[in-house]
Amino acid sequence: MVELSTGRLHRAEYVIAMSAAVFVGMLAAASFFAGGDAVLAHVSGIGLPVVVMLLLLSLFNYFVRAYRWHVFSEHLHVNVPLTRTILYYFSGFSMTTTPGKLGEVMRLWFLERCHNYDYARVGPLFVCDRLSDMNAMLVLILFGLTAFSDYLWLSAAAAAAVLLLTLLFLRPYTLIALLGQLYVWSGRRWPRLFAKLRRTLRLTATLFSWRVFGGTLLLATTGWLAECGALYLLLAELGADVSFTNAIFVFSFSMVVGALSMLPGGLGGVEATMLALLLAIGVEMDVAIAATAVIRLTTLWFAVAIGFLMLPVTMRKVRACAAQ
């Protein structure tokens, strides 16, 4: 059973603070080599209306993804009001930059504590949420390849990894057989744990129908396309001559690299990939650094900030449920 004690949450907050420091340090180092004054001039020159639009596009993405989580929940017969789903989903953003996907686990913990749903029952929400995002990015990458044909083999490798993961959960017989073998190797210990894992895999497969997973994939693609639009808008504000197709590929490919790197929040992997791709299409170094910094602030770190605002409200509800 997952336990999110006060001590563990404090440790997570420390990790988040360290992640923010690493983020600032990486950008400061890059800015130093590119000319820090030029980067700061670009960032300070971004108009307030543009900043507001970037944040609104990110909010749109967050709400779309939260609604997708609600759709998955309904098909698992997890009956939670949409407003509570949004609260749980947004609160999970607070732990985006922690190791071990603590934010996603926290969402399941909220369902277990406040609604008495077993982890084996709600576990598919974690799996399908991640795979839906990855497949949405794959769709956007394939669209963006029309302007980035030089990265065809890298895109093909990323697509193969995402599709393999999706197929493994679509037809979970291989994973279930692997679990059975692990159970034997463990000396047949923890039978309840392995039984719950098998149940989670079978429930996950029920969400991989064209009607459910296809519909939620459309939602996810729409949400992430808004973030790609934010990067395009930002680059235009900074004076970079970049097409919308280019912006789609740069953002989506960077996010996939960050996800496959298994780093918390893709920290480091996303920034390095985005910077490299922007330089590859002719964006000047100082502009590329400014764009990377601002887009990550208005996507990743904006989500973390919202999560921290929502988390105390959610924790009060958890304590109220425990007191009943």
Write out pLDDT tens, residues 160-205. Answer: 777 776 677 666 667 777 767 776 777 777 777 767 777 777 777 7
Q: Greater confidence, 14 or 127?
A: 127
Is 315 a member of any domain? yes
Query: pLDDT at residue 265 above 80?
Result: no
pLDDT on residue 272 = 87
Residues 237-250, mean pLDDT to the nearest whole number: 92
- In this predicted model, which residue has the larger pLDDT, 203 or 21? 203
pLDDT band at 71, cuts 50/70/90? very high
d(C-alpha 242, C-alpha 226), whole Å:
16
Residue 159 lies in a domain: yes
| Secondary structure string (H, E, C) spanning 235-271 | HHHCCCCCCHHHHHHHHHHHHHHHHHCCCHHHCCHHH
Residue, of 275 and 190, whose pLDDT is higher? 275
What pLDDT sits at residue 306? Answer: 94
Percent of the chain at pLDDT > 90 equals: 31
Query: Is residue 42 very low, low, confident or very high in pLDDT (cuts 50, 70, 90)?
Result: confident
pTM (2 decimals)?
A: 0.82
Three-state DSSP string of 69-123: HHHHHHHCCCCCCHHHHHHHHHHHHHHCCCHHHHHHHHHHHHHHHHHCCCHHHHH
Q: Is residue 55 part of a domain?
A: yes
State which residues form the domain around 214: 6-323
The residue with tokens 């670009």 is 42
In a domain, 1, yes or no: no
Which band of pLDDT confidence, cut at 50, 70 and 90, is reported for residue 151?
low
Assign 3-state DSSP to the chain and report helix, strand, coil percentages, each to 5: 85, 0, 15
The total domain count for the chain is 1
Indicate if the pLDDT at residue 7 is higher than 60.
no
**Higher local confidence (pLDDT), 95 or 12:** 95
Q: For 35, which DSSP code?
A: -
Q: Report which DSSP code applies to 297.
A: I
Is 141 a member of any domain? yes
Tell which wins on pLDDT, 200 or 30.
Answer: 200
- For all residues of the chain together, what is the average pLDDT? 81
User: Do 230 and 247 form a contact (C-beta atoms < 8 A)?
Assistant: no
Is it the case that residue 25 has pLDDT exceeding 80? no
- What's the pLDDT at 131? 85
**What pLDDT is attached to residue 70?**
94
Instruction: List Cβ neighbours of 323 (8 Å cut-off, separation of 6 or more).
Output: none
8 A C-beta contact, residue 283 and residue 36 = no
- Most confidently predicted of 8-22, 189-203, 255-269, 280-294: 280-294
Q: What pLDDT score does 26 carry?
A: 62
Quick: pLDDT tens for 95-141: 887 765 677 888 998 998 889 888 888 888 888 888 889 889 888 98
Q: Per the domain annotation, does 67 fall within a domain?
A: yes
Contact 127, 10 (CB under 8 A): no
Report pLDDT for 1: 43
Cα distance between residue 140 and residue 161, in whole Å: 15
The pLDDT of residue 154 is 67
**C-alpha to C-alpha distance for 163 and 74, rounded to whole angstroms:** 25
**Residue 66 placed within a domain:** yes
